[in-house]
Structure 1
Amino acid sequence: MGAGKSCSFFDFNWKSQRWNLLFLVGAVIGGLLAANFLSTNQVPAISEETVAQLKSMGFESAGAAFAPTELFGKLSIKNVLILAVAGLLIGFGTRYAGGCTSGHAISGLSNLQWPSLVAVIGFFIGGLTMVHVLFPLIF
């Protein structure tokens, strides 16, 4: 999107890294196949207190559906924007942190890497901020 012209961090040569796009397409196709053909539609068991809190936030499908139908059941403009922005932020964070949350938490911490510890602490703080501050504001 042009950020690579002003910041070398974002200068990425897609032509030499085409496998990344193939990986993305495979992840999307795999997700669609898994959701439509491999899913047993089991509802995870969550506590009644959590169900009550989610219902108070407007998630009436809490405890009755695997994924909140309020987000994934109908594709409104708000839902598509929320999911698109969330995906962009996850992609940016993964690129910026030099890896994903699982990679830093499992491989990085087991190798006693200081940057992974900093990244995992940042992920944890970001998750807490999202759940306790931003999530109630959005919904």
Structure 2
Amino acid sequence: MVLLLFFGKSFGFSTNLRVICAACGAGKHSRFFDFNWRAQTWNLLFLVGAVLGGWIASEFMSGDDPVQISQATIEDLRELGFSAPDDLQPEKIFSFEALLSVRGFLLLLIGGFMIGFGSRYAGGCTSGHAISGLSNLQLPSLIAVIGFFIGGLISTFILLPLLF
């Protein structure tokens, strides 16, 4: 982050989607994507590195032991209907059957729209605001991060129990 600040760059993953769309020619159809995307290719390398790093950690650095989480968290997850820590990715949500159902498809469609709209409306994604914006002491990023946390709490304690 210090190097990004030093070179006047900002960080965020939602920028990558804009860069990919611009590189694929979306600038011919929308002014939002009409910019010099080549100046942002460093951000794409960061995205590839994050995905590659996640894969390496999953394949070569994880053990067979269940995730170590607190007893209070296990109880909270059980109240929501999840058998933690054994099944933190329940088939009810994370399976091809769930994806191919009408409910699963609508959840992905509406969730994707909300994430896309929200990151555009907020001027960036959670990582961009929480890491870049807060380290630059930007008030809009603080407001956005507070909004993200409120949205996460609403999703966890109100929407998730209603949906599952």
Bin the TM-score by the shorter chain. 0.5 to 0.7
Q: Which residue of the partner structure matches residue 69 of structure 2?
A: 45
Q: Which residue of the partner structure matches residue 29 of structure 1?
A: 52
Alignment deviations for residues 61-110 of structure 1 (CA, whole Å, 9 cap, x no partner): x1235x424345x4434387556865675565445434443553455345
In 2, distance between residues paired with 1:85 and 1:14?
Answer: 30
Of the three residues 97, 114, 120, the one matched with 1:76 is 97
In 2, distance between residues paired with 1:130 and 1:4?
Answer: 37
Contact (CA 8 Å) 1:105, 1:116: kept in 2 or not? yes
Contact (CA 8 Å) 1:108, 1:116: kept in 2 or not? yes
Q: Which residue of the partner structure matches residue 14 of structure 2?
A: none
Of the three residues 69, 86, 90, the one matched with 1:64 is 86
- For normalisation by structure 2, the TM-score amounts to 0.55
CA RMSD of aligned residues (A): 3.8
Deviation at 1:130, TM superposition (A): 0.8
Q: Choose between structure 1 and 2 for higher RCO, CA contacts under 8 A separated by at least 6 residues.
A: 2
1:128 paired with 2:153, answer yes
Flag structure 1 segments of 5+ consecutive residues without an equivalent: none
- Shift of the 18–102 alpha-carbon distance from structure 1 to 2, 3 Å rule, reads closer
Deviation at 1:54, TM superposition (A): 2.7
Flag structure 2 segments of 5+ consecutive residues without an equivalent: 1-20
Q: Which residue of the partner structure matches residue 137 of structure 1?
A: 162
